[in-house]
Amino acid sequence: MSSDEEEWVPFSRRPGWRDVTPVPQDDGPNPVVPIAYGEEFREIMDYFRALYFADERSRRSLELTAEAIDKNPGNYTVWHFRRRVIDALNADLCSELDFVSLISLKNSKNYQLWHHRRWVAEKLGPDSTNKELEFTKMILARDAKHYHAWSHRQWVLQSLGGWEDELDYCAQLLDDDIFNNSAWNQRYFVISKSPLLGGVQAMRDSEVGYAIEAIAANPENESPWRYLRGLFKGHADLLIEDGRVSEACLKVLKTSNQRVFALSLLLDLLCHGLQPREELREVVQRLSSEMELPVGGGLPTAVCSILETMDPMRSSYWAWRKSNLLPEAS
């Protein structure tokens, strides 16, 4: 019986429980600050301890753990015992997923809940894939940055499958909110881990286009800039060779007031050997003049000086970057 019902019936008055002697919590002879447990919670846990110490793996034990979890979903001992009971009874695992879904409506950020759900899904195997992906979709629809949901979803994909529509799901989330950095992270996870896509190298060309399109629409959005860098991780030579990258920086510098991320990427390109076209030099020089910055040094030095002024929260970092420029790059 759920404790949410209007009248909760104590175990001492329930048929089938009269053979159980409840075990009270032992706080020692002189507890300093006794916890004021409610009567329902106290009785549930007293009866739980009785069955737990007796290691009774029965149907009523399963029902009792449900009530205990409803009262305190963070009690890992109760969850652990419930798993032992489920194993002993060979209980319906699909129904168990439904139980966890119900608990998650009020406690979706409870670690024990997600650990238990993974245990059940792992036992069910690929048969649970669709249900688990839909469950995480439901959670993410309410909280797009839900860490446990994203972690569980990635585990499902890697352990049980379901990659076929995941890139489309990421695109849908980014259509809804292009600033959703969790969706950008998941998109990179998919292109780098999916056995169906061939890895980052195979996806790089199209994904660069996708990121640059997002940058053009919202230059102040850091996520696509980070995503663009990630596509070339460990391959600075390819980053420089792809003219679309420096062109994206140039376009933002010419048309937007949100220039910090473009300048930051441009600085890295220059430090890795980019030979900038004349138009790019002129834009940087114009920005330096408009900000009345000292003239002198090379293009990377000028970019660092602009960033020191334009990005005051990280001005010390940009000053450090400038002081560490190699002579040939300064």
Give the residue numbers marked as catalytic.
109
As a whole number of angstroms, the distance between CA 293 and CA 296 comes to: 9
As a whole number of angstroms, the distance between CA 18 and CA 183 comes to: 53
As a whole number of angstroms, the distance between CA 134 and CA 152 comes to: 12
CB 11 within 8 A of CB 43: yes
Say if residue 113 is exposed, middle or buried (CB neighbours under 10 Å; 0-12, 13-18, 19+).
buried
Q: Tell me, what amino acid is at 328?
A: E
> Quick one: tokens of 67?
């009530």
Identify the helix (H) or strand (E) that includes residue 92.
none
At which residue do the structure tokens 């992906």 appear? 133
As a whole number of angstroms, the distance between CA 10 and CA 43 comes to: 7
CB 304 within 8 A of CB 318: yes
As a whole number of angstroms, the distance between CA 190 and CA 199 comes to: 9
As a whole number of angstroms, the distance between CA 82 and CA 76 comes to: 10
CB 304 within 8 A of CB 267: yes
As a whole number of angstroms, the distance between CA 151 and CA 121 comes to: 14
Q: Is 123 helix (H, G, I), strand (E, B) or coil?
A: helix
As a whole number of angstroms, the distance between CA 126 and CA 233 comes to: 33
Main-chain dihedrals φ then ψ at residue 24, nearest 5 degrees: -65, 160
